[in-house]
C-alpha cells in the first residue's frame, strides 16, 4: 500500500516563530488532507489539498503531486497551534480509506 512519511517527527518553537512540515508519499493520490489533532484528541481538518496551494489565515499548504510531497506552513505560531499534525492520503483503486502518516508533534512555548 501507499506509504506516507512526515518530517520532522517533533518540533519545538517559541511563540511567533514560523515552521514548515513535510509529507512525502509513495504513489499518486486522489486526496491529501492535513489535520491538526488538538490536546483533547479532536482531529481538525486544515486543508483538502491533492494539488496546488491554499491559504487559511496563518496556515498555508502546498502539494506538488508530480513530485509526491506536500508542505504545511505555519507562520507566527501561537501556543494554541500545539498538537500533532497529520498528513493523510487516499490513492484510489480499491483503496477506500485514508492512510495517515505518523504525524509531527509541534510544541509552541510562550
Partner 1 sequence: EAQVTQNPRYLITVTGKKLTVTCSQNMNHEYMSWYRQDPGLGLRQIYYSMNVEVTDKGDVPEGYKVSRKEKRNFPLILESPSPNQTSLYFCASSFSPFGAYGYTFGSGTRLTVV
Residue 53 in contact with partner 1, rule: CB under 8 A: no
CB 27 to partner 1: min, Å? 13
Residue 26 in contact with partner 1, rule: CB under 8 A: no
Residue 33 in contact with partner 1, rule: CB under 8 A: yes
Classify residue 40 by burial, with Cβ atoms within 10 Å: 0-12, 13-18, 19+. exposed
CA nearest to 6, candidates 32, 25, 29:
25
Residue 56 in contact with partner 1, rule: CB under 8 A: no
Q: How distant, in Å, are the alpha carbons of 3, 32, 47, 74 from that of 94?
A: 16, 17, 24, 34
CB 3 to partner 1: min, Å? 12
| Rg, C-alpha atoms of the chain | 13
CB 73 to partner 1: min, Å? 19
Residue 104 in contact with partner 1, rule: CB under 8 A: no
Residue 21: in which H helix or E strand, if any? strand 19-25
Residue 30 in contact with partner 1, rule: CB under 8 A: yes
CB 85 within 8 A of CB 33: no
Q: Tell me which residues touch partner 1 (CB under 8 A).
A: 30-31, 33, 35, 41-43, 45, 48, 86, 88, 90, 92, 95-98, 100, 102-103
Amino acid at each position: 500500500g501507499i506509504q506516507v512519511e512526515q518530517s520532522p517527527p517533533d518540533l519545538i518553537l517559541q511563540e511567533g516563530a514560523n515552521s514548515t512540515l513535510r509529507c512525502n508519499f509513495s504513489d499518486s493520490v486522489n486526496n491529501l488532507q492535513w489535520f491538526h489533532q488538538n490536546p483533547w484528541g479532536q482531529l481538525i481538518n486544515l486543508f483538502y489539498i491533492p494539488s496546488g496551494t491554499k491559504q487559511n489565515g496563518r496556515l498555508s499548504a502546498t502539494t506538488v503531486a508530480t513530485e509526491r510531497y506536500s508542505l504545511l506552513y505555519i507562520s507566527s505560531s501561537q501556543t494554541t497551534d500545539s498538537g500533532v499534525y497529520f498528513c493523510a492520503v487516499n490513492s484510489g483503486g480499491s483503496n477506500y480509506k485514508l492512510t495517515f502518516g505518523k504525524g509531527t508533534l509541534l510544541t509552541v512555548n510562550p
